[in-house]
């Protein structure tokens, strides 16, 4: 089965499963219009597709890079088994996502692009689609560089890509988590309550919990923030300078990076 077709199967399965969980176990009542929010976030995905960075196309390009690099990459020069190369490649792919995410918060031009994602005030599964096309281009380009340099096995690239896709829905989901389950899960992977801290309107909290799949990166690089107790009302999400950001339409989200942000942001 072609990787691009599999991407859509994983996309549909993860979207439907997360949507059902949000319907059955919502964590909070969202104030903004669901229809407007879903339409705006979906349009961002469509625009990204039109400029050639849709995830299924990226998977094909990444596979080509991984195959081409199979004779040269760093991992292929090490005397280790394929299983270890797969595991190391998977971890490296996730680490590259952590590094690029921190860069989007640390570098002013990149932060202006990333503001589109952080402008969301009512998080739900579609927040995982709320990325400006320019951000997708930067992230994909960096990922391809990592794949080419390390020679990550093609299978590891595909599996990591699918895992990140599912995690984007899972970590933004408006789902009520049992506190004990969240406490155990976040020892290994990023959970929705953990990632919600990153979406706080407080700048100090935005600069924590950058990881995508494995929470170990935040712990290792000292950016982990446990956040408030799940029984408490978390800080308001979004950006202080953009009230009710979830009500922004797609056109305003697309031009947002070209509007000068306040100086108190990265």
Of the pLDDT bands very low, low, confident and very high (cuts 50, 70, 90), residue 18 is very high
Average pLDDT over residues 79-100: 94
Domain membership flag for residue 202: yes
Task: Kindly tell me if the per-residue pLDDT of 3 is higher than 70.
Answer: no
59 neighbors 5 (Cβ within 8 angstroms)? no
Domain membership flag for residue 97: yes
pTM comes to 0.88
Domain membership flag for residue 49: yes
Domain membership flag for residue 194: yes
Domain membership flag for residue 34: yes
Share of the chain above pLDDT 90, in %: 54
> What pLDDT, on a 0 to 100 scale, did the predictor assign at position 29?
86
122 neighbors 32 (Cβ within 8 angstroms)? yes
> What pLDDT, on a 0 to 100 scale, did the predictor assign at position 246?
93
Q: What is the tally of structural domains in the chain?
A: 1
Domain membership flag for residue 266: no
> What pLDDT, on a 0 to 100 scale, did the predictor assign at position 40?
93
Q: How far is it, in rounded angstroms, from Cα 60 to Cα 154?
A: 10
Domain membership flag for residue 101: yes
> What pLDDT, on a 0 to 100 scale, did the predictor assign at position 155?
85
What domain range is 101 assigned to? 3-258
Q: Is 222 exposed, middle or buried (0-12, 13-18, 19+ CB in 10 A)?
A: exposed
Q: Which two tokens stand for residue 92?
A: 């490296």
55 versus 211: which is more confidently predicted? 211
Domain membership flag for residue 190: yes
């Amino acid at each position: 089965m072609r990787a691009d077709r599999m991407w859509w199967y994983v996309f549909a399965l993860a979207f439907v499963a997360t949507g059902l969980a949000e319907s059955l176990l919502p964590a909070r009542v969202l104030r903004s219009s669901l229809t407007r929010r879903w339409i705006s976030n979906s349009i961002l995905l469509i625009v990204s597709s039109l400029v050639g960075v849709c995830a299924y196309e990226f998977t094909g390009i990444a596979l080509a890079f991984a195959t081409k690099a199979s004779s040269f990459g760093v991992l292929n020069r090490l005397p280790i088994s394929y299983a270890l190369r797969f595991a190391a490649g998977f971890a490296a792919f996730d680490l590259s996502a952590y590094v690029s995410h921190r860069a989007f918060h640390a570098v002013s031009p990149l932060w202006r692009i990333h503001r589109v994602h952080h402008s969301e005030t009512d998080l739900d599964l579609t927040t995982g689609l709320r990325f400006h096309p320019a951000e997708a281009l930067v992230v994909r380009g960096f990922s391809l560089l990592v794949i080419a340099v390390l020679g990550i096995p093609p299978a590891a690239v595909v599996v990591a890509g699918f895992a990140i896709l599912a995690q984007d829905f899972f970590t933004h989901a408006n789902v009520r988590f049992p506190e004990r389950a969240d406490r155990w899960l976040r020892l290994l992977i990023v959970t929705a309550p953990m990632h919600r801290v990153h979406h706080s309107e407080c700048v100090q909290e935005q600069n924590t919990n950058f990881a995508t799949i494995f929470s170990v990166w935040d712990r290792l690089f000292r950016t982990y923030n446990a956040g408030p107790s799940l029984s408490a009302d978390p800080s308001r999400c979004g950006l202080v300078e953009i009230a009710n950001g979830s009500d922004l339409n797609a056109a305003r989200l697309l031009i947002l990076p070209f509007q000068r942000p306040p100086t108190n942001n990265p």
